[in-house]
Amino acid sequence: MSGITRITQVATVGIRVTDQQKAAEFYVGELGFEVRRDVPFGGGRWIEVAPAGAATTLALVPEGVPVGVRLATRDAEADHADLRARGVDADAELVRTGPGVPPMFTVRDPDGNGLILVESS
């Protein structure tokens, strides 16, 4: 699959927040967003919010977790191998953090912007 990835959509944009609960209350209570995901993650929580019907979510990211754009891919392992083989600046290894967390990796564009490819189910 030279030059083609399995990316299906811009899934999530991670934004830095100092207090996830307070941020979630703002987005839900003040902007009318809905909570799409609120699950344990790395000793904390992974919270995603979005306007009703929106395909792309905002991840309310605490300190220590990368912010930025997360792209959904059907096959993170295959995209990782293909992009690395073509010389694209991508993480050396696919990240697998544990049960229930999909495989992912970061690729960098020519300006150094990181895009996180996350396998979607």
47-96 pLDDT per residue, tens: 999 999 999 999 999 988 888 999 999 999 999 999 999 999 999 999 98
Which residue range is the domain that position 30 belongs to? 7-119
Total domains in the chain come to 1
Which residues are paired to 114 by β-bridges? 108
We report the CATH number of the domain holding residue 79 as: 3.10.180.10
Q: Nearest 5 degrees, angle CA 76-CA 80-CA 84? A: 170
Whole-angstrom distance, CA of residue 53 vs CA of residue 76: 26
> 1 falls in which pLDDT band (50, 70, 90)?
very low
- Residue 101: inside a domain, yes or no? yes
| Three-state secondary structure call for residue 27 | helix
Asked whether residue 107 is domain-assigned, the answer is yes
Q: Is position 49 within any domain?
A: yes
Residues of the chain above pLDDT 90, percent: 78
Q: Could you tell me how many residues make up the chain?
A: 121
pTM (predicted TM-score)? 0.83
Residue 2 lies in a domain: no
What single-letter amino acid sits at 6? R
Q: Is residue 72 situated within a structural domain?
A: yes
Q: How far apart are CA 116 and CA 36, in angstroms?
A: 19
Instruction: Confirm whether 83 is domain-assigned.
Output: yes
With respect to residue 106, please indicate whether it lies within any of the assigned structural domains. yes
Residue 63, in any domain of the structure = yes
Mean pLDDT of the chain, nearest integer: 92
